[in-house]
Structure 1
Amino acid sequence: MVLKTLDMPGQAVHRRHHVKGDGRSLWLYGREPHGLEALAEEDGEPIHGGSLRWHPLRREWAVYASHRQNRTFKPSAADDPLAPSQPGRPATEIPFTDFELAVFDNRFPSFHPDAAEPAQDIPGLDLRRPGGKCEVVVYTPDHEGSLATIGQDRRRLLVAAWIDRYRDLFAAGHTFVLPFESRGEEVGVTLHHPHGQIYAFDVMPPVQEKMADAFRQGYDLAGALASWGDDYSVTEAAGIRAVAPPYARFPYETWLVPQAFTPGPWAFDADQIDGFAHLLGDMTRRYDEFFARPTPYMLSLHAAPRGEEGHFHFTAQFYPLLRSADKIKYLASVEQSTGMFTVDIMPEQAAKALRDL
């Protein structure tokens, strides 16, 4: 057990590092140092497999990880692998009877820092080992909840955990770090316990490469944000605005954007951490209220890749999978084949609808 008090603006955060029975790492984050005794765990070897293959026409990498076919699929609440472990019951991923917020190495990773070189050779095709890292972030010990319901203090703790993982993963040499959340079965969620994930990439994903190139060439997101005025604004807190960008690709897509240039959450002061945490909950609440149901969405944090901190402007982007309460926004043939999205709701209409709640 290794305990550490983190240097976080405006809040005391304690981190405990625990090595699981199969060698994977678990970090427990909390307002108080975590001192509970670990319960019995299953032994085993972590999975390292997979490969990267380069698509010569789309000019992008795809990761192949066949072991993920057998990952946990829609367990009952009684078999929730993200819940705290309890004496006399099968072990969960978190071998403690309670915790505040937990992060652990994914049991079924797409990337792994110890991944082997590809075993096979395909003539004319570039193959690489899928180095990187995959982690699971468990927001709460409770089986149900959302960013809107876990409370402001837990959201602030989540932001602190993200910042800590950014620091560690970049220090380990990874190129790009993506915290994200997929919510709802419509998005493909197979575990309903409130959680997100973090992927650390050793190759630059194509979307972030294009974003970095745009920022390098001088795209001024802070200036664009100011020029959009109130028509695209939903709400704001501590110098961070929630907006429906005029070039949104999803109906009711919104971004959380610092009004001044910020490369990532690690650059936030205490007020910005508080404001960002508030907006994460507020936007989730607005979506659920607007659609009158728990809204399926994809949330991703786009911070500066390693080496791009001087010009890459941080955003957190919500992509709801609904265009109305009973209509899903499908990514159909045109979008999948061309990358050109068809959008049924004007961003300014979406901003007004969410702003008026």
Structure 2
Amino acid sequence: MTFKSRTAIRLSDGRELIYFNEEEGSHRAEYPDTRQLPPPPPTSQLRYDPLVDEWIAVAAHRQTRTFLPPSDACPLCPAKPTFAGEIPAPDYDVVVFENQFPSFSDRVAPGEVDEINPMVPVRPGVGRCEVVCFTSDHNSYFGALTPARVRTVVDVLADRTAEISAMPGVAQVFPFENRGVEIGVTLHHPHGQIYAYPTVPPRTKLMLAAAARYLSRTGNDLYTDVLAAEREQGTRIVGANEHWTAFVPAAARWPFEVQIAPHRKVADIPALSDQERDAFGPLYLDVLKRFDGLFGKPMPYISAWHQAVVGEGRDLGYLHLQLFSIRRAADKLKFLAGSESAMGYFVNDIVPERAAQLLRDAA
């Protein structure tokens, strides 16, 4: 691990906050949360949709979450005499804390109903939601981090994935970052999130089913063979090093989409070796700079770590990062309209091979 110490405190409402310190001798955990916060909300409600065999989370308390506050009232900045946010210390390296407005948590409200009607079972949305602050610099962004800080973030995600995966009721741990108001960001400070889902998400279910069918038919691992085919063909490769390859999927759904995968099959971030963790940052930072270079301005994106599930089907998982943007031109966004939103049938505006070439050309 690149961080030198890991110190945890409790915020005034009982939520956990963890400082990951890159230097020895940090006293950050000595600063108390001086706010007087109400108790955290009860967890969300899961409702089963029998028509598509999916669970939907209903989290009404999130309607009141913080929305684009001014920079001097940012809850993710270090504490200062004029404002106290989520982080009590006056500075930090990387911080993780329980989300104040979680989609999933272990705080189950009494008297939870068990069905809406006989067709729609209901259960508590037991899980966990955490916020990951990459830097104390409010005006920075992930692409401006040093490779050393990216390595720290990877180690932090490994720490959290291992710990959260061991919590009761967790089906999959999903770290991600949203960037840009076009994506729906509500806080400008550089940060990501970690969702611990109580059920296997729909996309993961599809990926597991496809991998299981391929294994049964060929005896091979699906993602391993997809990555090998992309590396051999080379047409859609954006960048690579000894341990990782970044490529545009041949059937990309989004105008600009890149997957970054390790050459060795591993289930999740904790399984990455030191060499693989070191090699990830330089390649990822290069891809992020290419995204920003496409149109000469900050690119809105979602960066999503696909990890193996915790339970059945874990052996089918192949860790990879999916990075994609809804921007299809300098002044145009890709909206999920009728076909995508209603039917889940994507229509891409940019040929994937063209997207790969544009990203290779973007300096």
TM-score, normalised to structure 1, is: 0.93
The 5 A counterparts of 1:268-347 are 268-307=272-311, 308-347=313-352
2:304, 2:292 → 1: CA distance? 18
Match of 1:163 in 2: 158
2:254, 2:275 → 1: CA distance? 30
Match of 2:146 in 1: 151
Match of 2:218 in 1: none
The 5 A counterparts of 1:257-276 are 257-276=261-280
1:335, 1:352 → 2: CA distance? 25
**Alignment check: 8 A CA contact 2:257 2:325 kept:** yes
The 5 A counterparts of 1:21-60 are 21-33=12-24, 34-36=26-28, 37-39=30-32, 40-60=34-54
**Alignment check: 8 A CA contact 2:3 2:152 kept:** no
Match of 1:3 in 2: none
Residue by residue over 1:6-46, the C-alpha shift from the partner in whole angstroms, topping out at 9 and shown as x without a partner, is xx3xx354211111111000011121243133142334311
Alpha-carbon deviation of 1:355?
1.5
2:76, 2:87 → 1: CA distance? 7
2:108, 2:129 → 1: CA distance? 12
Q: 1:13–1:310: structure 2 CA closer, same or farther, 3 Å change rule?
A: farther
Match of 2:200 among 196, 201, 204: 204
The total of aligned residue pairs comes to: 347
**Alignment check: 8 A CA contact 2:103 2:125 kept:** yes
> Is structure 2 residue 163 aligned with structure 1 residue 172?
no
**Alignment check: 8 A CA contact 2:72 2:83 kept:** no
Match of 1:14 in 2: 5
2:273, 2:280 → 1: CA distance? 11
Q: 1:233–1:48: structure 2 CA closer, same or farther, 3 Å change rule?
A: same
**Alignment check: 8 A CA contact 1:238 1:271 kept:** no
Match of 1:133 in 2: 128
What amino acid is the match of 2:259? W
Moved more, 110-119 or 260-269: 110-119
Paired residue secondary structure (1:185): coil
Query: 4+ residue stretches of structure 1 with deviation over 4 A?
Result: none
2:310, 2:17 → 1: CA distance? 24
Match of 1:240 in 2: 244
> Is structure 2 residue 355 aligned with structure 1 residue 350?
yes
1:279, 1:314 → 2: CA distance? 16
1:145, 1:118 → 2: CA distance? 42
Paired residue secondary structure (1:82): coil
Any unmatched runs of 5+ in structure 2? 216-220
TM-score, normalised to structure 2, is: 0.92
Any unmatched runs of 5+ in structure 1? 1-7
Residue by residue over 1:214-245, the C-alpha shift from the partner in whole angstroms, topping out at 9 and shown as x without a partner, is 22232521222221221010001232100001
**Alignment check: 8 A CA contact 2:43 2:126 kept:** no
Alpha-carbon deviation of 1:309?
3.4
Alpha-carbon deviation of 1:50?
2.4
**Alignment check: 8 A CA contact 1:42 1:91 kept:** no
Root mean square deviation of aligned Cα:
1.5
Paired residue secondary structure (1:257): strand
Paired residue secondary structure (1:231): coil
**Alignment check: 8 A CA contact 2:43 2:106 kept:** no
What amino acid is the match of 2:176? F
1:147, 1:304 → 2: CA distance? 24
Alpha-carbon deviation of 1:340?
0.7
Match of 2:210 among 204, 209, 214: 214
The 5 A counterparts of 1:114-125 are 114-116=107-109, 118-119=112-113, 121-124=115-118, 125=120
Match of 2:60 among 66, 80, 88: 66
What amino acid is the match of 1:75? P
1:82, 1:197 → 2: CA distance? 12
Give me the identity figure in percent.
36
